[in-house]
Amino acid sequence: MEPVTRNYYVGIDGGGTKCKARLENAQGELLGEGLSGPCNPAQSAETAFASIIEATTLALEAASLPATKMSDLNVCMGLAGVNVARYRETAQRWIFPFKHTHITTDLHIACLGAHAGQDGAIIITGTGSSALASVGENLSSIGGHGFPLGDKAGGAWLGLRALQYTLEALDALVPTSRLVKDMCEALGTDEPQAIVGKSLHYKSSDFGKFAPIVVKCANDNEPVSLSIVNEGKQYLTGVISQLEKLGAKRISMIGGISSQWAKWLPDNIQQRLQPAKCSPEFGAISLVKHLVKES
């Protein structure tokens, strides 16, 4: 009976706001899941480590397994922030109580999940934006440069662009529009210095809160938001072409505003996108199973 109890697999999806763990046995049956808090080592290494342990503990509990089984787990975690060398190194110095630990990016496990462990590419458009092609042994990332430097076509970028236009319109440098009116309504003021006072310490998630306004205006053919959306479409079209050049035959787009972007893209581009087959946690498990088999 021993091999059955020994082979537990955990896939962890660690993002900026939450950490999800999925526990399976060797037969691929779901035993339990766990959900905890923020898990981005670039934001807080201590919090990220604690979130990983917590989500894993909760998954064991949900599977009615004792915490002592921790040392039997083969774990793969995909974490935000570890695309940057110094945060990857931080995560690699952590000492985990698991049997086997593999650390990669959240983008990598999302890509593996979307294509059920096979080759393919992923584009994530949520608050931020990034893309990855996984073809054979090669991983090639596009974007993921962070806000405000990158994240084009992400929610924070949409919100930033709308707020920039709004302030220029209130300065009478560009024509006013419905987008400006809707933004001022959401802000509760049309006084530029009051808006600056509100937005002075905005994080990307704060800018992202205005994305639904841009989406609504663009869907009503409001010209300013359409021009912002067009820039995003051009960027995503370029990303899709580049992922294809990197050899990706199957491309999926996931994240909070991905279905909206998919609708905005022209038909010939939409047709080049495929739905994601499985979750990032599933992708993480498929990777660790592969690695454990090889070792």
Q: Does 189 contact a copy of itself by CB under 8 A? A: no
Rg of the chain (C-alpha set): 21
Three-class HEC string of the chain: CHHHHHCEEEEEEECCCCEEEEEEECCCCEEEEEEECCCCCCCCHHHHHHHHHHHHHHHHHHCCCCHHHHHHEEEEEEECCCCCHHHHHHHHHCCCCCCEEEEEEHHHHHHHHHCCCCCEEEEEECCCEEEEEEECCEEEEEECCCCCCCCCCCHHHHHHHHHHHHHHHHCCCCCCCHHHHHHHHHHCCCCHHHHHHHHCCCCHHHHHCCHHHHHHHHHCCCHHHHHHHHHHHHHHHHHHHHHHHCCCCCEEEECCCHHHHHHHCCHHHHCCECCCCCCHHHHHHHHHHHHHHHC
Nearer Cβ to a copy of itself (27/193): 193
Q: Smallest distance from the beta carbon of 202 to a copy of itself, in angstroms?
A: 8
Nearer Cβ to a copy of itself (129/225): 129
* Chosen residue from 238, 249, 259, 270 binding a copy of itself by CB under 8 A: 238
* Chosen residue from 177, 199, 205, 219 binding a copy of itself by CB under 8 A: 199
Nearer Cβ to a copy of itself (195/273): 195
Q: Does 196 contact a copy of itself by CB under 8 A? A: yes
Q: Does 142 contact a copy of itself by CB under 8 A? A: yes
Q: Does 194 contact a copy of itself by CB under 8 A? A: yes
Nearer Cβ to a copy of itself (55/160): 160
Q: Smallest distance from the beta carbon of 183 to a copy of itself, in angstroms?
A: 12
Nearer Cβ to a copy of itself (5/230): 230
Q: Does 163 contact a copy of itself by CB under 8 A? A: yes
Q: Does 247 contact a copy of itself by CB under 8 A? A: no
Q: Does 192 contact a copy of itself by CB under 8 A? A: yes
The answer to whether the CB of 15 falls within 8 A of the CB of 82 is no
| Binders of a copy of itself in range 37-56 (CB under 8 A) | 42
End-to-end CA distance of the chain: 22
Q: Does 164 contact a copy of itself by CB under 8 A? A: yes
Q: Does 200 contact a copy of itself by CB under 8 A? A: yes
Strands 120-125 and 251-254: parallel
Q: Smallest distance from the beta carbon of 246 to a copy of itself, in angstroms?
A: 9
Q: Does 84 contact a copy of itself by CB under 8 A? A: yes
Phi/psi at 261 (5° precision): -60, -40
Nearer Cβ to a copy of itself (88/250): 88
> Which stretches of the chain bind a copy of itself, using CB under 8 A?
42, 83-86, 141-146, 148-150, 160, 163-164, 167, 171-174, 192-197, 199-200, 202, 235, 238-239, 242, 245
